Amino acid sequence: MIKNTLLILVFLGFSNLYAQELFIKTGKNSTTFDFSSPNKNPEVSYRSGSGNFYEVGYQWNLKTNKLAYLVSLTYNQFNASASYLTNSYSWETNYIGIQNVLSYKLYETNIIHVSLAAGFNTATIIRGDQFINTTYFDIKNNEEFAGILFQPGIGTDIKYLISEKISLSLGYNYSKAYNISNGTNEKLKFNTSQFQLGIHIPILIEKNN
């Protein structure tokens, strides 16, 4: 995961790119679990759960200034709950990952930029808790949750330029996360709507020809 991102950064370093900005984002994830298994009970009622997310990254603009590449370190909580008969279930999971995104600027004025973005995150779990009624289980090593999570997504954001030194953004992203290292018959996907608030700090660097 880290090696692939470093290779991308090396490639970008030799491309006709201009350093653009640092950014920090935070917000909320609303996640539902999509669980499939030969023994799945159709009467289990799954419900969405709320979690936090944090992102720190760097953005480069391409020469056209319409297209940009973003790479970031992410921390996501994917939580959900369910019930069956008299039992209640809840899951709280925490993932850290590296995200790669291409963003296209759809509309801009002197102070407002509207962009559409698509990309993917590769992540791994750092903590996983399951509660069945009042009983706690550590699920960090369970195959449905452990290993490598591949998370493609698409989203949009509106950026407001406060000054030449800082801007704020509001965004929305929808993603599906798949555990690509799970070799069992029980498969789990995370369907997540992410609501974002961002701070962006431009970094102006001239590139020598």
CB 196 within 8 A of CB 27: yes
Token pair for residue 59? 């953005």
Nearest by Cα to 102 from 158, 167, 154, 26: 154
Q: Is 2-202 assigned to CATH 3.40.50.300?
A: no
CA atoms of 62 and 19, how far apart (whole Å): 9
* pLDDT tens track for 53-109: 999 999 998 877 789 999 999 999 999 999 888 889 999 999 999 999 999 999 999
Domain boundaries of the chain, sorted by first residue: 2-202
CA atoms of 31 and 189, how far apart (whole Å): 10
Mean pLDDT in residue range 23-40: 90
The residue that leads in pLDDT, 50 or 12, is 50
CB 177 within 8 A of CB 151: yes
Max Cα separation, the chain?
69
